[in-house]
Structure 1
Amino acid sequence: MKFTILIANYNNGRFFKNCYDSIIAQEYKNWEVIITDDASTDNSVEIINDLIKGDPRFRLLINPENKGCGYTKRKCMEYASGTYCAFLDPDDALYPNALKDSVEHLQNSRNIAVYSKLTFCDEDLNAIGDFKKIKQIYNEKYFFNSPIQLHHFFSFKRDAYLKTEGIDPTLASAVDQDLYLKLLEHGNAKYIPVRMYKYRQHAQGISQSSSKEKAKMSFAKVIFNSFKRRNISKIGGKSIPKDYKNTEDIFSLLDYQTKIGYRLKAKILGFFQKDSLF
């Protein structure tokens, strides 16, 4: 089964060699890589071309102008041909077992996706520690990944993605959350408690502190769109607003999901969840 690694790049040329090396080192060998550069202003395209030249497993696409993360990741998916897919950020890297373990669990399960431990790293990709909040989720109509429990490395079946409306091309951030929630409407995801993904922390990262407010706004819009897509009119006894106005209107509806009782219930249900759809 072919695995498609999807990379949306913007001005991460100086980090790409680590990303590339981690792909080449994969224990699972049946893969392809789709890279879309979003009109970078650094030397990303030159660096990427130098690394992948002559290797037919890599394909580099270039946006003629800067389109944003949602558009670029959606474009990556349009060219994917693998049975399984996953996004890898160009400033991050994979552990050698990432594809092998993901494929093994996807082949032997009715789940449409698997995800793993995420290891925080410094700017030089030295491990700092694992993200402790990732756990087995209980997937149901009212799961919105808020607070965050599901993260990289998220590998999914391409045929499940094709059942969705696809990644929202207008999003500048929270693109992965958009992908997760849409896919989870067509099947369940399994947590594999092993290290697969190295998440580099650096000042220019799209999800770092300077971008958190914009990311929060995008995430609220993603959740609001999920309400509408799932025909949810009330949640926690509160009515869903007819139109999206601000982040607090959305996140206040999910306050009950942060309570200990709810989280304990979700943890137990997640452990016993079968491969049923909702």
Structure 2
Amino acid sequence: MIKFSILIANYNNGKYFRDCYNSLISQTYENWEVIIVDDASTDNSVEVIETIIQNDSRFKIYSNASNQGCGYTKRECMKYAEGEICAYLDPDDAIYVDALEKIVQEFTKNEIVAAYSQMMLCNENLSPEKVFASTKKIYNSRYFFNCPTQFAHFFTFKKETYLKTTGINPTLKSAVDQDLYLKILEHGSVEYIKEPLYLYRLHSNGISQQSFKPGAKESFAKVIHDTMKRRGIRKINNQLVPEVYTNQHEIYELLNYQTQKLHRLINKVKVTFNI
């Protein structure tokens, strides 16, 4: 039976963890573990989480000696993961009760390195409001950079595939997940589950909800440039890829063509007919 590792990087989100915990212990799939790494929270997160998980051996919690940021903490989570399939779950979010079961089914019946689903946007009380509209079935090629965003949570991947990459970049403060997606996708096929398996809580303190901020856009541009260099791409749509990263505008301008109707139509045809 495949073991599933759920990885949680926590920083000051202990007050939301009860919902996350309840969704995990309610899973219809039983062979899982939860790895929690706290990034030197300044609230009582560790005490709250430890009280909730008590002596449940399926949950393991570790702490950074000092605050290191999202990339470092998510990389630490992977150090402790023992499962064949891994996925990150934010401590202020939750997953549907059959999420792990449906993910494992995809890995069992398909030769894939990753699988992802739609996600449900929720209010601060985790009450579902609407499905995140941007998640789509993608055409995975060396020119796919998830820009504009086509998938986010719930992204699951084989641990053996992760170990073939350089892993999560510990210096990244944002665009950490985007970096991981692009590295994993370079090693095989990905399956799309067209239903929400992830409950995403919208609230003012959410780290991933800062994606509109200039710093996050800058980080994502650097991730895309690193990806282009790693894949040996010298030209995008007949435009030269800069040897050295200088600014985000250069990178996003290279990808403007991917938002155009013709490009999106071609990709839709490729996805539909599995070209």
TM more than 0.5 = yes
> How far apart are 1:51 and its partner, in Å?
1.1
Alignment of 1:1-278 (within 5 A): 1-209=2-210, 212-273=213-274
Is the CA contact 2:175–2:220 (under 8 Å) kept in the aligned structure 1?
A: yes
> How far apart are 1:208 and its partner, in Å?
2.3
Residue correspondences, number: 274
Partner Cα separation in structure 2 for residue 273 and residue 66 of structure 1: 45
Tell me the C-alpha RMSD between the 2 structures. Answer: 1.1
> How far apart are 1:209 and its partner, in Å?
4.6
> How far apart are 1:138 and its partner, in Å?
0.3
Q: What residue ranges of structure 1 are gaps of 5+ in the alignment?
A: none
Question: TM-score, normalised on structure 1?
Answer: 0.96
Partner Cα separation in structure 2 for residue 82 and residue 271 of structure 1: 32
Identity %, equivalent residues? 54
Is the CA contact 2:9–2:90 (under 8 Å) kept in the aligned structure 1?
A: yes
Question: TM-score, normalised on structure 2?
Answer: 0.97
> What is the SS of the residue equivalent to 1:101?
helix
> What is the SS of the residue equivalent to 1:208?
helix
Letter in 2 for 1:200: R
For residues 221-250 of structure 1, the C-alpha deviation after alignment (integer angstroms, 9 at most, x for no partner) is 110100110011110111111111111111
> What is the SS of the residue equivalent to 2:226?
helix
**1:156–1:95 Cα change, 3 Å:** same
Partner Cα separation in structure 2 for residue 211 and residue 80 of structure 1: 31
Partner Cα separation in structure 1 for residue 224 and residue 196 of structure 2: 28
Range with greater deviation from structure 2 (183-192 or 201-210) = 201-210
Range with greater deviation from structure 2 (201-210 or 97-106) = 201-210
Is the CA contact 1:136–1:271 (under 8 Å) kept in the aligned structure 2?
A: no
Partner Cα separation in structure 2 for residue 144 and residue 51 of structure 1: 38
> How far apart are 1:78 and its partner, in Å?
1.1
Letter in 1 for 2:161: A
Range with greater deviation from structure 2 (120-129 or 210-219) = 210-219
